[in-house]
Chains A and B, each alone.
Chain A
Amino acid sequence: MFHAARPASIAVALASALVLTACGGSGGEGTAADARQTLTVWAMGTEGEKLADVAKTYEKGHPNVTVDVTPIGWDVAHQKLVAAAAAGRLPDVMQMGSTYLGEFADMGALEPVDTQTFKQGDFFPAAWNQGTYDGKPYGVPWYVDTRVLFYRTDLAKKAGLKGAPATMADLQRAAAAYQDKAGTKWGLSIQPSGLDAVQSFYPFLYSAGGAVLDDTGRPVVNSPDAVKALENYGGYYDKGLSDKTFRPGYDVTKDFNSGAVPMFFGGPWMVGLLNDNYPELKGKWAVAAVPADKASVSMAGGSSLTISADSPRKAAAKDFIAYLTDAKGQADWYQRTNDLPANTKAWESGELATDETLKVFRTQMETARSLPAHPKLTEITSKVDEAIGEVSQGRSSAKEALDKAQSAIANLVR
């Protein structure tokens, strides 16, 4: 049946020769920042669209530089970046999510950050950390996010609760009170299993003093603190306080609005979504810091800006990134997108300095933790996802599940 494969093998050899020899041609020091040139930039979703506007302003001050922004969808950005990297066609500047920056740094596709221009101290520590791989920074923090507690204040009154839960024990009591006294269907929304369940586990894990990897990059996910955190997390399912069925694409704001879910951990964009979609809910909800265990520590997320290692326009790329990440650029970006600035100086004036809701995010951000960039980050966290699933479905104890995750992760980081 496959006779035709023989003559074709010649064509393949030819094609692969073509493909492989052409690699690694570009690079070098390249063009000066003020020379006539076109910078290509890839950014995701809303950021991509809004960035095009910023680029126009930038071009006015830099008449020789044209900035060409391509917005790409969140779901597909990774695949597109990998393909472009394989063909040596990465853009000059790209937005990188924290989950895969490590991959591209490991491939050698990213230019290390010039620490003369970009100072670590200007940014939130967790934000800088997630742009760092193997001790070297590759991404300049662009915007950050962190998770805080969103809760229904009107239902809290019904449930006889005063203020936000301050400790993890309070949180569980509050969840039960919402259910019992205010008649809510669930007490707290946390993801029971599936990809990225770890995201809703982080506040529990970090607050208990646990972590996935320690500062030197060794796995510590079965530490007593981590086990205690997962036991606490699993308790919500045992007691029927949280839904143990995972629904991909689940929209918590809908249930938050209806009162089925009175509490959840959410990022800054949730504020905008709730205000826009449920204006009548205004005044019936508030945000609060993650309830403390040993401390109140949340996760940090967000995006960095990176420069392609092959770019011949690194000087201009650096200048453009500096424009986006200095205090002024960051404050302006917040106005356009409501993305929280990664540069702490941007928080010193205007709405960012005064708004009560934003203050909660800012405080949380200061102590928030992030995983350092790692090429296998997705796989590492997926092991924790699995452990969470095991526990939420009552298949194993927190200790067993985390021991398993620990050894799987140890194999990955070696």
Chain B
Amino acid sequence: MSLVTGLSGGGAAAPKTRRSGGARPPAATARRRGGRRPPGRRNLQGWLFSTPFLVLFGVFMLFPIVATLWMSFTDFGVRNVRRPLEAEFVGLGNYAKLLGDETFRTALFNTAYFVVVGVPLTIVLGLLVALLLNNGIDRARTFFRVGFYAPVVTSIVAVAVVWRFVLDPSDGLVAGLAAELGMKAPDFLGSETWAMPSLILMAVWRNLGTVMVLFIAGLQAIPTEVREAARLDGAGAWHELRRVTVPLLRPTMLYATVITTIGYLNVFEEPFVMTQGGPSNATLTVSLDMYREGFNFFHMGYASAMAYVLFVVIMGITVLQLRLLKDNTR
């Protein structure tokens, strides 16, 4: 871990900071060790830097959030679209109903399955690809990067068509390969066992590019000297990865894990275009269930309750991740 502090030491050496024209009074009395500002100013500055976000959040997000939270305690339905205040207050009724809702439990389980398998796969593969494209390859880098990022930007319509072709049980790509080898491929999307793994694979494929970009950007923050030093010390590639690269990538890793987890907990598009939750709800996710309740059947109150259950789950998992990955400012 001494290499980590090495980073701070090396980085601190350089800056040629210009004095801002002497405009600033010395204020030496108030200045503490290390050039700290007095607490009042520090607070003011912190809040000034936070203002634009907080204002936009307060104006555009808060009302909708509070409105849906209120809805989750009512039986808000179609009739209330034009007369919102007539929605009947049902207290925790929606939440109580969720507890006994078998479909919702299936959806929760499926979503958990999706996250538990999908997130580690995405992160590990994303890291490997980033390392491969950052260190292993030095010619045609742009070309490879664009190629690996392509799934992120490809329209879901095209993605669905090609994936269906790949997974088709009779004349699909995988079925064809299996037939060559004298095996029989399962009906991926039609089987309760295989549908979910197929969708996870597809999601990993679609999100790899995003994670890769994050890691490539994160790798730039690791000074080459640090890794050179590790190599000169005779560290092997694996040792370098484990002892140098991964620890230094931790902030990026944390970010990538958190956003991938949040994204996967909200997974919607893949089951929506590939299976619509079937067969027999085997790929029904919470978001898809919520979409059905909210937009197909317009049980807005119930759907909002689902949203807040999901919200609490996501919150819990994220806080756990922040703890586990030792986000040190909290």
Residues of A within 8 A of B (CB): 4, 8-9, 11-12, 15-16, 19-20, 23-24, 78-79, 82, 85-86, 88, 103, 106-109, 185, 193-195, 244-249, 375-376, 378-379, 382, 389, 393, 395
CB distance B63 to A393 under 8 Å? no
Interface set, chain B 131-169, CB cutoff 8 A to A: 160, 164, 169
Query: CA separation between A382 and B85, bound complex, in Å?
Result: 29
B187 at the interface (CB under 8 A from A): yes
CB distance B82 to A78 under 8 Å? no
Residues A16 and B189 in contact in the complex (CB < 8 Å), given A107-B78, A379-B296:
no
With A85-B82, A389-B280 already in contact, 5 other A-B pairs whose C-beta atoms are closer than 8 Å: A23-B83, A193-B279, A245-B187, A247-B164, A248-B272
Q: What is the chain B residue whose CB lies nearest that of A392?
A: B279
7 smallest CB-CB distances across A and B, nearest first, come from A245-B190, A15-B63, A379-B297, A12-B66, A86-B81, A248-B276, A103-B78
CB distance B58 to A8 under 8 Å? yes
Residues of A within 8 A of B59 (CB): 11
CB distance A12 to B63 under 8 Å? yes
Residues of B within 8 A of A (CB): 54, 58-59, 62-63, 66-67, 78-79, 81-85, 160, 164, 169-170, 187, 189-190, 272-276, 278-280, 295-298
Query: CA separation between A108 and B86, bound complex, in Å?
Result: 14
Q: Shortest Cβ distance from A52 into chain B, in angstroms?
A: 25
Residues of B within 8 A of A378 (CB): 296-297
Residues of A within 8 A of B78 (CB): 103, 106-107, 375
Query: CA separation between A108 and B79, bound complex, in Å?
Result: 8
Residues of A within 8 A of B67 (CB): 16
Query: CA separation between A194 and B58, bound complex, in Å?
Result: 40
Residues A395 and B82 in contact in the complex (CB < 8 Å), given A12-B62, A248-B275:
no
Residues A194 and B63 in contact in the complex (CB < 8 Å), given A103-B298, A109-B82:
no
Q: Shortest Cβ distance from A228 into chain B, in angstroms?
A: 24
Residues of A within 8 A of B189 (CB): 245, 247
Query: CA separation between A190 and B297, bound complex, in Å?
Result: 24
Q: Shortest Cβ distance from A251 into chain B, in angstroms?
A: 10
Query: CA separation between A24 and B82, bound complex, in Å?
Result: 8
Query: CA separation between A24 and B274, bound complex, in Å?
Result: 42
Residues A20 and B273 in contact in the complex (CB < 8 Å), given A107-B78, A194-B278, A379-B296:
no
Q: Shortest Cβ distance from B323 into chain A, in angstroms?
A: 14
CB distance A244 to B190 under 8 Å? yes
Q: Shortest Cβ distance from B51 into chain A, in angstroms?
A: 13
CB distance A85 to B81 under 8 Å? yes
Q: Shortest Cβ distance from A249 into chain B, in angstroms?
A: 7
7 contacts between A and B (CB under 8 A): A16-B63, A79-B295, A195-B276, A245-B190, A248-B272, A249-B160, A393-B280
Residues of B within 8 A of A185 (CB): 170
Query: CA separation between A195 and B271, bound complex, in Å?
Result: 13
Query: CA separation between A15 and B190, bound complex, in Å?
Result: 48
Q: B63, B280, B297: which has the most chain A beta carbons within 10 Å?
A: B63
Query: CA separation between A11 and B85, bound complex, in Å?
Result: 18
Query: CA separation between A287 and B67, bound complex, in Å?
Result: 52
Residues of B within 8 A of A9 (CB): 66
Query: CA separation between A375 and B56, bound complex, in Å?
Result: 37
Residues A194 and B276 in contact in the complex (CB < 8 Å), given A8-B58, A11-B62, A12-B63:
yes
Q: Shortest Cβ distance from B141 into chain A, in angstroms?
A: 36
Query: CA separation between A107 and B67, bound complex, in Å?
Result: 20
CB distance B279 to A246 under 8 Å? yes
CB distance B58 to A20 under 8 Å? no
Q: Shortest Cβ distance from A332 into chain B, in angstroms?
A: 33
CB distance B79 to A106 under 8 Å? yes
Q: What is the chain A residue whose CB lies nearest that of B271?
A: A248
Query: CA separation between A185 and B54, bound complex, in Å?
Result: 60
Q: A4, A245, A249: which has the most chain B beta carbons within 10 Å?
A: A245
Q: Shortest Cβ distance from B70 into chain A, in angstroms?
A: 9
Residues of B within 8 A of A19 (CB): 63
CB distance A395 to B295 under 8 Å? no
Residues of A within 8 A of B160 (CB): 249
CB distance A246 to B276 under 8 Å? yes
Q: Of B58, B63, B82, B279, which contacts A245 at CB under 8 A?
A: B279
Q: Of B82, B164, B276, B279, which contacts A23 at CB under 8 A?
A: B82
Query: CA separation between A19 and B62, bound complex, in Å?
Result: 14
Residues of A within 8 A of B296 (CB): 195, 378-379, 382
Residues of B within 8 A of A193 (CB): 278-280
Q: Shortest Cβ distance from A315 into chain B, in angstroms?
A: 23
Query: CA separation between A78 and B275, bound complex, in Å?
Result: 22
Q: Of B58, B280, B298, which contacts A395 at CB under 8 A?
A: B280
Residues of B within 8 A of A249 (CB): 160, 273
Residues of A within 8 A of B170 (CB): 185
Residues of B within 8 A of A79 (CB): 295
Query: CA separation between A12 and B81, bound complex, in Å?
Result: 19
Residues of A within 8 A of B62 (CB): 8, 11-12
Q: Shortest Cβ distance from A411 into chain B, in angstroms?
A: 13
Query: CA separation between A313 and B124, bound complex, in Å?
Result: 61
Q: Of B58, B82, B298, which contacts A108 at CB under 8 A?
A: B82
